[in-house]
């Protein structure tokens, strides 16, 4: 039967609190129960904390995966969105090609004079003088490479025939000059200082 008055409840509480004091046996039993409850609480509390941390970690990883999936899906949608254009992977317009033009007489003269200076290896006292003879007809960028040439290995001594244009453009001319040694092909370009030799090679065949 439920207790409906405060006086009745107070009486029940007095009986409960007074029960351990009725005898030493009751007191010892109560102490054992309290100690057992404290030990059990100490063992269960860490487990409850670990379970809570594990659950939070699982929720966090699930949220991160969901965010990554949605981000990836968004990227895919952006890549395949209608009307989007991929970045260019090659030139949309061809490179400008040189404009053909009749060979400049000055370019042919410079080529001939350059070859004459190139063949003059036996008439100078040093390699420096040989380079000085080429300097007025050579670009400043190409002249340092001429220092690697050994004039003593040049076999020709004189020009044979007249210079001929192999290819001619508005700002450059490929000129072929024959000698009694190898036939040379020179690339002569137009610079601020006039026409200058930018490269030479021996003709094949």
Residue 169, C-beta contacts closer than 8 angstroms, at least 6 positions apart? 98, 99, 100, 101
pLDDT at 38: 77
Looking at the structure, give the CATH architecture of the domain made up of residues 105-202. Answer: Roll (3.10)
Res 74: pLDDT: 45
First to last CA, the chain: 126
Non-local (6+) Cβ contacts of 108 within 8 A are 163, 165, 173, 175
**DSSP E strand stretches across the chain:** 159-168, 172-179, 184-191, 194-202
Task: Name 124's Cβ contacts closer than 8 Å, sequence gap at least 6.
Answer: 130, 133, 151
Ordered by start, the domain boundaries in the chain are 7-71, 105-202
> Has residue 146 got a pLDDT over 50?
yes
Mean pLDDT of 180-201: 97
10 Å CB burial of residue 188 (0-12, 13-18, 19+) is buried
Give the whole-angstrom CA distance, residue 87 versus residue 89: 6
pLDDT at residue 80 in the model: 46
Q: For 96-136, what is each residue's pLDDT tens digit?
A: 678 999 999 999 999 999 999 999 987 787 999 999 999 99
């Amino acid at each position: 039967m439920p207790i409906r008055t405060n006086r009745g409840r107070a009486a029940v509480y007095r009986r409960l609190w007074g029960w351990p004091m009725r005898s030493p046996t009751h007191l010892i039993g109560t102490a054992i129960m309290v100690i057992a409850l404290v030990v059990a609480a100490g063992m269960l509390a860490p487990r409850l904390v670990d379970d809570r941390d594990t659950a939070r970690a699982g929720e966090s990883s699930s949220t991160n995966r969901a965010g990554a999936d949605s981000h990836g899906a968004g990227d895919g949608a952006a890549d395949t969105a209608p009307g989007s254009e991929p970045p260019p992977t090659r030139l949309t317009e061809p490179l400008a090609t040189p404009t053909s033009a009749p060979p400049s007489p000055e370019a042919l003269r410079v080529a001939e004079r350059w070859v004459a200076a190139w063949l003059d290896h036996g008439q100078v006292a040093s390699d420096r003088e040989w380079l000085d003879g080429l300097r007025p007809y050579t670009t400043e960028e190409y002249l340092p490479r001429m220092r690697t040439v050994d004039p003593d290995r040049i076999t020709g001594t004189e020009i044979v025939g007249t210079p001929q244009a192999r290819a001619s453009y508005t700002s450059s001319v490929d000129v072929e000059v024959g000698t009694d040694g190898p036939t040379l092909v020179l690339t002569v370009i137009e610079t601020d200082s006039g026409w200058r030799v930018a490269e030479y090679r021996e003709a094949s065949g």
